[in-house]
Amino acid sequence: MKNLHKIIISLGLVIGLGACADLEEKPIGVFAPETFFQTPKDVETAVLGAYGVIASENLFGRQFICALQFRGDMITIGNRATSAERIQMNDFNMDSDNGMIRRFWPQWFQAINAANSAEAGGISLDLPDNEINYLIAEARFVRAFSYFHLVRVFGDLPYINFPVTDPTSLKTISKTSEAEIYQGIIADLEFAKQWLPNKQKNDVRTRPSAGTAASYLASVYLTLGDYQKAYTEAKFVIDNKDLFGYALEANFENNFNANIADNLKETIFAFDFLGQISGSNGQNDDSLVPMLAVLNLTGGYGVSVPTQAVYDTWDARDYRKKVSFVDTLVVNGVKRPYKDFSTPRPHVGKWVKLPGNANAIGRYSDHNIADFRYAEVLMIAAEASAEINGPNAEAAGYLNQIRARARNWAGTQVDFPADVMPSMSKPEFIDLIIEDRRLEFAFEWKRWYDIKRRNLGEKVFLGPNSLEPQPTFDPSRDYLMPIPDSELRINPNLAPNNPGY
Amino acid sequence: MQKLLTSQKHGFLWVFMFMLLLSSGSLLAQNKLITGKVTSDSGETMPGVSILVKGSTLGTTTDIDGNYSISAGEGDVLVFSFIGMQTKEIAINSSNMYDVTLETDISQLDEVLVVGYGTTKKSDLTGSVSSVKAAELTAFPVANATQALQGRAAGVSVQSNNGDPGGSLKVRIRGGNSINASSDPLYVVDGFIGGTLPAPEDIQSIEVLKDASATAIYGSRGANGVIMVTTKRGKIGKAKVDFNTSYSSQEVINRIDMLNANQFLDYTREVIPNYVDNGADTDWQDQIFRAGGIQNYQVSVSGGSDVVNYYVSGSFFDQKGIILNSGFERYAITSNLNFKASDKISVGVNLLARRTGRDGVVTQEGSGGAGGAGVVGSALRFMPDLPVRNEDGTFTLASIGDPIDNPFAVATERQQETIGDLFQSNFYLNYDIVKNLSFKTTLGFRTDNNRTGTFVPTTLYAGANVGGDATIGASKNTDLISENYFTYNLDLNTKHKFNFVAGYSFQKSNDTDWSSGAQSFITNSVSFWNLQGGAVQKIPSSGFSETQIQSVFGRINYSFNDKYLFTVNARYDGSSNFSKNNKYAFFPSGAFAWNMKDEGFMKDVNFVSDFKWRVSYGLTGNQAIGPYQTLARFSNSYTIIDGVAVNAVRPTTVANDDLTWETTRQFDFGADMSFLNNRLNLTADYYRSVTSDLLFSVPLPTYTGYSSQLQNLGKVENKGIEFTLNTVNTTGALKWNTSFNISINRNKVLELPDGNDILYGSGPGHLIGLGQTQILRVGEPVGSFFGWVYDGVYQQGDDFLPGGGFEQVAGGEKFRDIDGEKDANGALTGNPNGALNADDRTVIGNGQAKFIWGLNNDFSFKGFDLNIFFQGSQGNQILSYSLLEIETLSGSNNSTTRALDRWTPTNTDTDVPKRTLQRSQRVSSHWVFDGSYVRLKNISLGYSLPSSILEKLSISKARFYVSAQNILTFTEYKGFDPEVNYNSGGGAASNRNLGLDYASYPNAKSYTIGLNVSF
């Protein structure tokens, strides 16, 4: 009897312990998508997540913008001991397994997935338009922004505008045509223009406003060669510049000064990097400055360096040349001309000179890395107007606003560059605008898109006046980058890859 | 029930009274006091030998000096027994004194093996189990007992993941049964599932459970085999003190011949003509390697009586690494106490308290870019014409290429310290409810606390950029386990024997961690102890996860006439980690063994002493899934708006509600054979295991926003044969025993998601552009190397194959065009297309060994003992990223002396390409090496003092020895050491990345002197 008692106690112990195990998981620090969206605040949290994805090493921190720099004729490889994938990106001889592409391609789609999730979350709340559409519009803007870059780089590609819950079902989709993707981009930007506020809270430029959406619409139409619509959108932004808070910065250099990056009237859209901090997965990690900085004297990587011709052909009277280059360095009190640089050429000065709170080589800087400045709206207006009406005073006026600003040599008025007069042929005038764009946006990631848009590749890489001769440039291949090989392996329906790869 | 118990009780009473009668009977027969001394055949006195008057319950044991006294009458028979010795019977005649010598029992059949939830005699075993004894575990000093298993047990492969002191090990039982989940075996320490091993000196034996019959009782954690660890117990007798100590002197096992400064200057100026000579001639390997050493001390006190036994041990292990500033130390206390509280109840507790400390240096860096090079990586890359310090006293930085610190600076300036405190206790209560029915309950608790601090001072490049970088992090992992089971033995007619085990188990594990860091300090002197002094605060982090498992399990053993043995095992596991649709899993197994020797027809086959066939089949599992992995997730996204971080999330994981465990089905067929009076023992096994429902991070097209999704897809197979041969070659004064084991395993991927190849990269991050260097392909072993076929060097006048990124010059690397032609649909035809590209990559090797083996010879003669232990691996290949980096002759680093044979217009008969700066670093067959090796793992010569001297010193044993470890290695591999494991820690990487070498901490060779004393 006594034994039985003990057995029962033992069994009780067993069963008692068993009862506490329900095996349900209650994770901490992660959020379930099904239950996440309860209020507009949650939608906003999801939208903001996308910016962190873009403000990352793989996109605007380094890989994507550096790739665009290499593609253009303003920056080439300085230290040729750098990795082959960069050299191949620059020299137009990459294959479909290029490492830079393998990094930035997936990252763009993470941003797109974040935007799609936020959009769907916003719609799921089923609120009146005026309470939620400004957030849905923001999500759609991010999607449009991402696809606008992607479509210019890759041409036809998969277009996904819904949150992915069953990724396996997307394994066999085909590419969407460029034209269709542009339709999606335009629809998103139109919606964004309609519903986004004229100014974001605190007038930040790292979230889009209606003005941002209109500016990108102008750029989209310009890229498509629809100059009338490009003009209309650019004009809309210029006419409403006060409403949106846009103006040219008095000092050109302000645009590349991290210390005042949050307060620039000229910035239309930028990504905010916070100094000396790195998030996980490469978020908030920017290496633009060390990529550009001199290898031996500053500890930079000296990878992305202009050719000598870019420097030599630029009129020394142009204040923008001074801002754009580092041609001497003072190291330990000793002045070192660029002949002493490990790559003995002038290096890029934009961003590098004023990285704000950053580490010693300028990584983890405080820059807000801008993708769009008000100057570009003026340039688009000028180019579109000239394309529609030929050289005209209005178009010249837009250019001259930018030239006038360039004559402000850090507070001292100089007389270079002089205003332009519309008294020239249309092709000459258009060339002049493209050339002004080249200098104004030197080393920003505009030049490659201009070369592609204007079909200038043979001229600028193979022509007699090439700043950066690239004998392997092949116009039938190199206006598009290859979709990563790994994607085609998983989804053969994406084949064939872009021509030549 | 009540009635049954009552009648049983009466039965006991009767037996008891009967015994009383018997003993009183013998008392009546004029007893006298018998005394004597028991010694072993090797002349050692034997304490703790059990002596029983045959046919009675009267008994005693020998004392510490081997002496005994017992009361017995003439005509009685005394039975002397001791584990590992042949039992001896002595008939009492008129003499009152009997000195007895016990012979070593070379038959292993009575050996008791520890299996899941019980023990079994080797002769009753139906499964495949290897056993490794204390002497082998302590043959030479090791930081971790698992290390001592290398080469000791068939089917068990042990490799260091890195050669650093206190570094982790990769243990595989019968190959890797998974691809993405861990293939580490389950450790069970005195019944504690997932317990931590005590110091090697405190371990009595390790049993390795290999087939499904043996492991299925551990269900969803049994698929990778189980390592059962039994710690030492006190034996009946006076307190016994054992003291073991050794000292080892260590040096690096091998060095790599690098270019000296002059050679380097020639080599560099060929492509950088204006390279300025920095004037020094530094051998960087000299700068970082030093003579290391191991001190090892252990003292234990053990003893016991009928009621209580105890074993208390303290140990100290201190290793000074062969690279500056690296080391490991371990203090441990192990205690085992067992009490017999009553006739029916016994209780006990096992305790382990341990402090470990580790000073690490950076090796096997994941990326050796700017400021990221580790000690060994930098020692190979760094320019030999640079001195350690500049004239101003600062450390030199690389003069070309990525700005990396010199290896001396990396070794001496960077601080990385890990302190671990572990406490493990396991309490049990065993209750003999009625005869043959007992209940055991255990309650185990373990907590493992670790703190890691790192500091990168401003004297290093990475620290200088940020004004010093300090991080301190801690983790606390706790485990609670309760196991409860009944054991019931039933004999029917002495022919039918049953043994039943049934129980319930519950286990809960919590993992927590937190860390913080800061940068930009006023001084380097505060290390990581003044985070608040940093001008820049890094983002702190913390994490929590919990896992629960509850299970029921059972086993039935049935034997008929001891000839036909049947075992059925099963476990039903529920785990919180599993997805919501699949919370519970069932794992059954069955086995049959046939003691053929017991059959009539074998009776007269005298040269066969024993012959048993075994066959088993069963299912085991691998939990595979980590906590919360089945759930869809938004995770934090670090987003800055208006200069401050804001709350932001992004989708990071997509759900899979059907995700489940991996199941391994294993078939085993084996035989245990003994010949020539047990002087030759052979165990042979064939096995085939197939793991299905492999957890795969199935690659998704990244345009979905995800790179992969966890799915149960795919199969992998391991099949092989194992042999263990133990022979007693000579007996008598010169004793010579040999043991040999060999394991032949073949690993193969049987199924992959959609049948598609899976490519992945495993190289160091700074070798940008290496890309995907490995492949999972159906029909190939896991972790095959993937790259181009190297055809040597282009010569003048060759047809250069076109291809972006490939050289088209004389002296350039020449690769083979094997594929690339495409049909109308854009699919590859498998024909060459006259150009090189990514399609020309193929499988160029793998890191899986064809076979591994160990050969041990023990000799003893009088007081001398000699041990020679060889261990080896055959047919495994190595992909060396280290040699790729320094011998591609492209980058801006030093190279090996192989560069002296580089192609030049006048030196064309070579496979070393020319010096250039334009060559891509590319994985090809050029960097795949034969990693086979034969190693003299240990050679040891010992001398034990004879008992005549010992008695004068009143000690029972004293042995001195000298030994050497790893002093001979035969290999073709050109790196430091063929035992390599780069990028191979934890989960998926540990299966997929085999045979990779990059900047590893090399293994050491050692010379050891030691002393073992007992008194």
Bridge partners of residue A383, in order along the sequence:
none
Give A445-453's long-range contacts (Cβ < 8 A, gap of 24+). A445/A65, A445/A68, A445/A69, A445/A72, A445/A371, A446/A376, A447/A72, A447/A73, A447/A74, A448/A68, A448/A69, A448/A71, A448/A72, A449/A68, A449/A152, A449/A223, A451/A71, A451/A72, A451/A73, A452/A152, A452/A479, A453/A222, A453/A223, A453/A225
Question: How many CB pairs (< 8 A) connect A and B?
Answer: 293
Closest chain A residue to B276 measured between Cα atoms?
A342
Q: What is the pLDDT of residues A412-467, one digit of tens each?
A: 999 999 999 999 999 999 999 999 999 999 999 999 999 999 999 999 999 999 99
Quick check: helix, strand or coil at residue B632? Answer: coil
**Is the Cβ–Cβ distance between B215 and B222 less than 8 Å?**
yes
Closest chain B residue to A499 measured between Cα atoms?
B826
**Is the Cβ–Cβ distance between B811 and B788 less than 8 Å?**
no
Closest chain A residue to B508 measured between Cα atoms?
A21
Phi, psi of B780 (to 5 degrees): -105, 160
What pLDDT score does B94 carry? 85
How far is it, in rounded angstroms, from Cα A48 to Cα A67? 25
The residue ranking higher by pLDDT, B466 or B556, is B556
The stretch A138-156 carries a mean pLDDT of: 98
What pLDDT score does B1 carry? 38
Bridge partners of residue B437, in order along the sequence:
B434, B488
Ranking B25-39, B276-290, B320-334, B909-923 by mean pLDDT, the lowest is B25-39
**Is the Cβ–Cβ distance between B77 and B53 less than 8 Å?**
yes
Give the one of B544, B700, B759 whose C-beta lies nearest to A28's C-beta: B544
CB atoms within 10 A of CB B107: 17
What pLDDT score does B102 carry? 85
Q: Is A207 on the interface with B (CB under 8 A)?
A: yes
pLDDT band at B83 (very low <50, low <70, confident <90, very high): confident
Distances (CA, A) of A184 to A54, A148, A442: 20, 10, 30
Residue A5 has pLDDT above 80, yes or no: no
Q: What is the pLDDT of residues B613-627, one digit of tens each?
A: 999 999 999 987 878
Q: What is the DSSP string of A34-46?
A: HHH-SSHHHHHHH
Residue B12 has pLDDT above 50, yes or no: no
Q: Residue A158 and residue B703: Cβ atoms within 8 Å? A: yes
∠ Cα B268 B273 B275 (to 5°): 65
What pLDDT score does B5 carry? 38
Q: What is the pLDDT of residues A42-78, one digit of tens each?
A: 999 999 999 999 999 999 999 999 999 999 999 999 9
**Separation of first and last alpha carbons in chain A:** 85
Side chain identity, residue A473: F
DSSP state of B538: P
CB atoms within 10 A of CB A172: 12
How far is it, in rounded angstroms, from Cα A66 to Cα A174? 29
Residue B919 has pLDDT above 90, yes or no: no
Residue A12 has pLDDT above 60, yes or no: no
- Has this prediction a pTM greater than 0.90? no
Gap from A485 CA to chain B (nearest CA, Å): 8
Exposed/middle/buried for A332, CB within 10 Å: 0-12, 13-18, 19+?
exposed
Beta strands in A189-282 (DSSP E): 267-272
Q: Residue B641 and residue A93: Cβ atoms within 8 Å? A: no
Residue B884 has pLDDT above 80, yes or no: yes
Nearest to B661 by CA among B172, B128, B182, B990: B182
Q: Which residue has the tokens 């319930």?
A: B504
What pLDDT score does B15 carry? 42
Gap from B414 CA to chain A (nearest CA, Å): 19
Quick check: helix, strand or coil at residue A464? Answer: coil
Q: Residue A83 and residue B768: Cβ atoms within 8 Å? A: yes
The stretch B583-589 carries a mean pLDDT of: 92
The residue ranking higher by pLDDT, B297 or B79, is B297
What pLDDT score does B59 carry? 82
Gap from A196 CA to chain B (nearest CA, Å): 17
What pLDDT score does A152 carry? 98
Residue A327 has pLDDT above 50, yes or no: yes
Domain residue ranges in chain B = 31-108, 789-840+897-920
How far is it, in rounded angstroms, from Cα A366 to Cα A260? 9
Give the one of B504, B640, B654 whose C-beta lies nearest to A18's C-beta: B504
H or E element at residue B728: strand B715-730
CB atoms within 10 A of CB B422: 17
H or E element at residue A266: none
For B218, the token pair is 């551990």
The stretch A3-15 carries a mean pLDDT of: 52
The answer for A 426-465 residues in CB contact with B (under 8 A) is none
Phi, psi of A441 (to 5 degrees): -100, 25
H or E element at residue A289: helix A288-292
Which of the residues A110, A269, A280, A494 would you substitute to probe the B interface, choosing the one with the greatest number of B C-beta atoms within 10 Å?
A110
Exposed/middle/buried for B403, CB within 10 Å: 0-12, 13-18, 19+?
buried
Dihedral angle, C-alpha A111, A112, A117, A120, nearest 10 °: 150
For chain A, what is the mean pLDDT? Answer: 93
What pLDDT score does B526 carry? 86
The answer for A 266-305 residues in CB contact with B (under 8 A) is 272-274, 276-280, 283-284, 290, 295, 299, 301
Measured in residues, chain B has a length of 1015
Ranking A22-31, A485-494, B810-819 by mean pLDDT, the lowest is A22-31
Exposed/middle/buried for A239, CB within 10 Å: 0-12, 13-18, 19+?
exposed
What are the residues whose beta carbons fall under 8 Å from the beta carbon of A391, sequence distance 6 or more?
A422, A423, A424, A425, A426, A428, A429
Closest chain B residue to A115 measured between Cα atoms?
B650
Nearest to B144 by CA among B130, B129, B158: B158
What are the residues whose beta carbons fall under 8 Å from the beta carbon of B866, sequence distance 6 or more?
B857, B858, B859, B860, B939, B940, B941, B942
Q: Residue A170 and residue B543: Cβ atoms within 8 Å? A: no
Q: Residue A96 and residue B756: Cβ atoms within 8 Å? A: no
**Is the Cβ–Cβ distance between A219 and A245 less than 8 Å?**
no
The stretch B245-274 carries a mean pLDDT of: 93
pLDDT band at B13 (very low <50, low <70, confident <90, very high): very low
Numbers of helices and strands, H then E, in chain A: 21, 10
Phi, psi of B313 (to 5 degrees): -140, 145
Q: What is the pLDDT of residues A331-367, one digit of tens each?
A: 888 999 999 998 999 999 999 999 998 888 899 999 9
Residue A144 has pLDDT above 90, yes or no: yes
pLDDT band at B515 (very low <50, low <70, confident <90, very high): very high
B328-360 b/e with 16+ CB inside 10 Å = b? bbbebbbbbbbebeeeeebbbbbbbbbebbbbb
Q: Which CATH architecture has domain A40-275+370-388+438-494?
A: Alpha Horseshoe (1.25)
For chain B, what is the mean pLDDT? Answer: 90
CB atoms within 10 A of CB B11: 12
pLDDT band at B820 (very low <50, low <70, confident <90, very high): confident
What pLDDT score does A8 carry? 47
Superfamily covering domain B31-108 = Carboxypeptidase-like, regulatory domain (2.60.40.1120)
Quick check: helix, strand or coil at residue B194? Answer: coil
H or E element at residue A178: helix A178-195
Domain residue ranges in chain A = 40-275+370-388+438-494, 301-369
Q: Which residue has the tokens 């794992």?
A: B587
H or E element at residue B674: strand B662-675
Exposed/middle/buried for B283, CB within 10 Å: 0-12, 13-18, 19+?
middle
Give the one of B575, B705, B804 whose C-beta lies nearest to A112's C-beta: B705
Q: Residue A204 and residue B769: Cβ atoms within 8 Å? A: no
Q: What is the pLDDT of residues A189-213, one digit of tens each?
A: 999 999 999 999 999 999 999 999 9
Closest chain B residue to A170 measured between Cα atoms?
B704
How far is it, in rounded angstroms, from Cα B619 to Cα B733? 49
CB atoms within 10 A of CB A223: 19
The stretch A395-415 carries a mean pLDDT of: 96
What pLDDT score does B909 carry? 94
Residue A387 has pLDDT above 80, yes or no: yes
pLDDT band at A7 (very low <50, low <70, confident <90, very high): low
Nearest to B838 by CA among B890, B778, B786: B786
The stretch B620-648 carries a mean pLDDT of: 87
**Is the Cβ–Cβ distance between B818 and B832 less than 8 Å?**
yes
CA atoms within 13 A on the CB side of B991: 28
The stretch B881-892 carries a mean pLDDT of: 90
A456-481 b/e with 16+ CB inside 10 Å = b? bbeebbeeeebbbbbeebbeebbbbb
Residue A15 has pLDDT above 70, yes or no: no
Residue A38 has pLDDT above 90, yes or no: yes
**Percent residues over pLDDT 90 in chain A:** 83
Residue A224 has pLDDT above 70, yes or no: yes
How far is it, in rounded angstroms, from Cα B983 to Cα B764? 8
Distances (CA, A) of B377 to A255, A301, B34, B272, B411: 41, 20, 71, 23, 11
The stretch A270-288 carries a mean pLDDT of: 91
How far is it, in rounded angstroms, from Cα B433 to Cα A326? 88
Give the one of A106, A207, A277 whose C-beta lies nearest to B538's C-beta: A277
Q: What is the DSSP string of B15-69?
A: HHHHHHHHHHHHHHTT-EEEEEEEEETTS-B-TT-EEEETTSS-EEE--TTSEEE
Residue B804 has pLDDT above 80, yes or no: no
